[in-house]
Amino acid sequence: MPEAHVGRRIRCLLFDLGDTLWYRGNQDDWEKLEGASNQHALALLRQHCHSSHLPDLDDRTLGQRLRQEFDAQVRAMIRQTPLLEPDVSKAIATVLCAWGYADAEQTLCHALFEALRVRIPHSRPLFADTLPTLTELSRRGYALGIVTNRLWGGTPFHEDLRSLGLLDYFNLKHVAISGDLGLRKPNPAIFEYTLNALGVSPQETAMVGDSLSADILGAQPLGIYAIWKPKPWLSSWVQEHVSPDPTRPHEAHAPLPVQTFPGEDTADAQSTETEETTSSLPKGMLVTDDDHILARANTSRDYLEQFRQGEIQPDHIITHLTDLLAIFPERKQS
């Protein structure tokens, strides 16, 4: 309730990025952008690697395969050490070694990783209420920060944040990117990094994000007020289970909806597929999302089911970012 926030004297809000401040755009446009990055990486690879060391495939298929096998290596690394960022150059090197190119230098592997980057401004539109909400929260006196799990950070990502207008609200000193820090949510250290930079305590802070595993379960053990903003296509299902009753039979609960693009990434629910391929997942569900990766790391954990049974309880649930304005009033200046 809003009174709880006032009582806790919250003066800082931390935000996730994907499916919180922005979402993936039209699927066709996304595939074109990703395909262009794949071809960029493949052209670079062909400059350094003899064709005999590469699978005998056309360029489009081989570029897709490079990305898919890189993604698979990254997921495996995260599941082995979920709280740490994977070594992306090592992931590329492992793929190339499996193809027969065992002597790839780290500089080349890192360059291939960078070539696979899909830039943000053309691929992830901001939600319509993102900038207006940030403007008003800033006006009301709240400090703002970002804590995000993202492989691709660095200067290009900073440029993307600036291009979207987000650096009008977030100082780069207050932006924690897993790819830059080597730490991944729900690791408490990545939250503490931003808290220390902002000079606030956990009890003065709220975290807003779409991931039960990374955002909610990462923030709450520190004493951060955890606000869940479910992916839009999931909102109706969530509202039916805001007050879960574990005594009701399982069949009484509505099944999870199936999303179709355009829309947002999701994987709060654990996939029951034995193989991780895009085609094996319901539309709109991506195997790279935090909740999917962590659920598959421990197959007993399905985060939406835990929420439904009341085992995961966000401190607050919102549908739109503008809902924050009803929760956080103007702060009294000391």
80 plus 43 within the same structural domain: yes
Of residues 20, 23, 26, the one with CA closest to residue 230: 20
218 and 287 in a single domain? The answer is: yes
Torsion (CA) 290, 29, 145, 203 in degrees, nearest 10: -40
pLDDT at residue 257 greater than cutoff 70:
no
Checking if the pLDDT of 253 tops 50, the result is: no
Task: Give percent above pLDDT 70 in the chain.
Answer: 79
Judge whether residue 245 has pLDDT over 80: no
And the tokens for 107? 């500089």
Q: Which pTM was predicted?
A: 0.85
Q: Is residue 146 part of a domain?
A: yes
pLDDT at 136 over 60: yes
Q: Is residue 334 part of a domain?
A: no
Label residue 259 by pLDDT band (50, 70, 90): very low
Predicted local distance difference test score (pLDDT) of residue 333: 64
CA–CA gap between residue 101 and residue 95 (Å, rounded): 9
Higher local confidence (pLDDT), 37 or 286: 37
pLDDT at residue 294, as a whole number:
53
How many domains would you assign to the chain? 2
**Mean of pLDDT values over 101-127:** 94
Within a domain: 236: yes
CB 303 within 8 A of CB 271: no
Domain membership of residue 55 (yes or no) is: yes
> Is residue 332 domain-resident?
no
152 and 238 within one domain: yes
Query: Pick from 64, 83, 115: which residue ends a domain?
Result: 115
* Pair (322, 220) in one structural domain: yes
Least confident stretch, 41-50, 243-252, 272-281, 286-295:
272-281
Per the model's pLDDT, the better-predicted residue between 265 and 88 turns out to be: 88
3-class secondary structure, 225: strand
Residue 131 located in a structural domain: yes
Are residues 232 and 253 both part of a single domain? yes
| Same domain (yes/no): 181, 38 | no
The residue range of the domain holding 35 is: 27-115
Q: What is the CATH number of the domain that holds 143?
A: 3.40.50.1000
- Which of residues 115, 143, 165 is at a domain's end? 115
Q: Percent of the chain beyond pLDDT 90? A: 64
Is the pLDDT at 49 greater than 90, yes or no? no
> Which residues are CB-neighbours of 177 under 8 A, at least 6 positions away?
146, 148, 150, 153, 157
- Rounded Cα–Cα distance for residues 72 and 70 (Å): 5
CB-CB contact of 129 with 318 (8 Å): no
Do 232 and 99 share a structural domain? no
